[in-house]
Amino acid sequence: MSETASPGAVATAAAPAGEALAKTRFDLRPLALMAAIALAAWPVVGSSSTWLTLTVAGLAMGMIIFIAASGLTLVFGLMDVLNFGHSLFIALGAYIATSVFTSLGNWATATSLAQNLAAIAVAMIAAMLLAGSIGLVFERVIVRPVYGQHLKQILVTIGGAIVGEELIKVVWGPAQIPLPPPEALRGSILIGAASVEKLRLVSVAIGVVVLVALLYTLNRTKIGLLIRAGVQDREMVESLGYRIRRLFVGVFAAGSALAGLGGCLWGMNQQIVVPQIGGQVNVLLFIVIIIGGLGSTLGCLFGALLVGLISNYVGFLAPKLAMFSSIGLMVAVLLWRPQGLYPVTNR
C-alpha cells in the first residue's frame, strides 16, 4: 500500500525529540470481551461451582483448539494456502496416542502419576514427530503443485484428507477406539465446591507451554520475525534474501506437528477416537482462525478460548444450541470486526 502521508504527519520526521510516538498499544478489547462473556455466564449458570467447572473445561478446550489451529493460521497467513487437510493431522495425532497407550500399557494403567505423565509425553512426542513428517510429505506432494490457486487448494487438500482418513481406517480399522486417560489422571479434583477434571488441567498446562514456546519463537527469534514478516509481505522477505519457500515448508511441518499434538489431547479428552475425529474438529478450527483474523497467532488464541468457553456454557444451558453457538459467535465477531479480532495488516 503506498502511503499518501499528509504533510502534518510527515512533519514529525523533523519534529524535535520528546514528542514520542505511541508505543504499540496492545488491543485489550478481545480480552475484555472474553472476560465479559465469562462473567455474564456466571449468573446465568447459577451455581458458582458449576460455572468454575464449565470455565476450566472451556479454557482447556480452547487451549487444545488453539494448539491444533495455530499451524493452520500461520500456513494461511504465510503462504495463502487454504489447507483443508489439516484435520488429517489431528486424527493422526489421536490415533498415534491410542497406539502409544496400548504399547505402553502398564505406564498408562499404572497408578503412578509420573508414569502416566511419561506415557502422555511419549504419546505427544510420537504424535508430533509423525504428524510433522507426514506434513512434510503432504506439503511436497499435495500442496506445492497448487500454490496460488485457492480453488484447487481446497479441492486437493480435502481430497488428501479423505485419502488420509481412509488410510487411517486401513491401519487402525474403521471402528472407534477407546482412549481412556491414564489412571492417575481420571476423575476430578475439587477446587472449593467445583470439580475440575484433572485431564483438563493437564491440557491447559500443555497449552500454556505451547503458547509460550510459540510466542517466544515468533517474537524473540529471527526465524519467528521472518515468519511474521512473511505473513505481512512475502515479496519483501524474498527481496531481503530469504527463501520463503523453505521457511514455509518448516512452518507447514511445525503446524502439522502441532495439529498432531492437538489431536492427541483432543482424543484423550473425548476418551474415544473415530476416523472422523479430524473432520469434526476442522469446522471449529476454521471458525477459530476466522474469528481471530487469518494469520494472527494471538487472534487464534483468543478465538479458540472464546469458542471453548461459549460452547461449554451453551452446551450446559441449552445443549441443542451447542453446535450453533460457535457459528453464532463467528457471525457476531465478524459483524463487529470484519477482519477478525486481530487483523493482520498489509493483507
Partner 1 sequence: MSETLLALKGVHTHIGAYHILHGVDFDVPVGEVTMLLGRNGAGKTTTLRTIMGLWEASQGSVVFDGRQIGGPEGKGDGDAAASQLRTPEIAAQGIAYVPENMGIFSDLSVAENMLLAARKARTLAQLDGARLEWLFGLFPALKKFWLHPAGKLSGGQKQMLAIARAIVEPRRLLLIDEPSKGLAPAIVQNLIAALRELKRTATTVLLVEQNFQVAKALGDRVAVMDDGRVVHRGQMAELAGDEALQHRLLGLSLGAHQ
Q: How far is the CB of 14 from partner 1 (least distance, A)?
A: 6
Under a CB-based contact definition with an 8 Å cutoff, are residues 289 and 122 in contact? Answer: no
- Looking at beta carbons only, is 6 or 111 nearer to partner 1? 6
- Looking at beta carbons only, is 147 or 324 nearer to partner 1? 147
- Looking at beta carbons only, is 150 or 243 nearer to partner 1? 243
Q: How far is the CB of 21 from partner 1 (least distance, A)?
A: 5
Which positions lie near partner 1, rule CB under 8 A? 1-5, 7, 9-14, 17, 20-24, 222, 225-226, 228-229, 232-233, 235-244, 344-346
Q: How far is the CB of 221 from partner 1 (least distance, A)?
A: 8
- Looking at beta carbons only, is 183 or 238 nearer to partner 1? 238
In sequence order, the 6+-apart residues with CB closer than 8 A to the CB of 114 are none
Q: How far is the CB of 217 from partner 1 (least distance, A)?
A: 13
- Which of 78, 289, 275, 268 has the alpha carbon at shortest distance from 178? 268
Q: How far is the CB of 245 from partner 1 (least distance, A)?
A: 9
- Looking at beta carbons only, is 61 or 341 nearer to partner 1? 341
- Looking at beta carbons only, is 72 or 298 nearer to partner 1? 298
Under a CB-based contact definition with an 8 Å cutoff, are residues 50 and 316 in contact? Answer: yes
- Looking at beta carbons only, is 47 or 149 nearer to partner 1? 149
User: How far is the C-alpha of 347 from the C-alpha of 334, rounded, in Å?
Assistant: 16
Judged on CB neighbours under 10 Å (0-12, 13-18, 19+), 195 is middle
What are the DSSP E strand ranges found in the chain?
A: 177-178, 188-191, 194-197, 272-273
Would you say how long the chain is, in residues? 347
> Crossing angle of helices 297-317/29-45, nearest 10°?
10
SS (H, E, C) 239-297: HCCCCHHHHHHHHHHHHHHHHHHHHHHHHHHHCEECCCHHHHHHHHHHHHHHHHCCCCH
Under a CB-based contact definition with an 8 Å cutoff, are residues 153 and 143 in contact? Answer: yes
Residue recorded with cell 471449529? 284
Q: How far is the CB of 214 from partner 1 (least distance, A)?
A: 16
What are the DSSP calls for 2-13, one per residue? -----HHHHGGG
- Looking at beta carbons only, is 10 or 121 nearer to partner 1? 10
Q: How far is the CB of 112 from partner 1 (least distance, A)?
A: 42
User: How far is the C-alpha of 300 from the C-alpha of 65, rounded, in Å?
Assistant: 9
Q: How far is the CB of 18 from partner 1 (least distance, A)?
A: 9
User: How far is the C-alpha of 235 from the C-alpha of 215, rounded, in Å?
Assistant: 24
Task: Name the grid cell of 255.
Answer: 503446524
Q: How far is the CB of 292 from partner 1 (least distance, A)?
A: 15
- Looking at beta carbons only, is 102 or 345 nearer to partner 1? 345
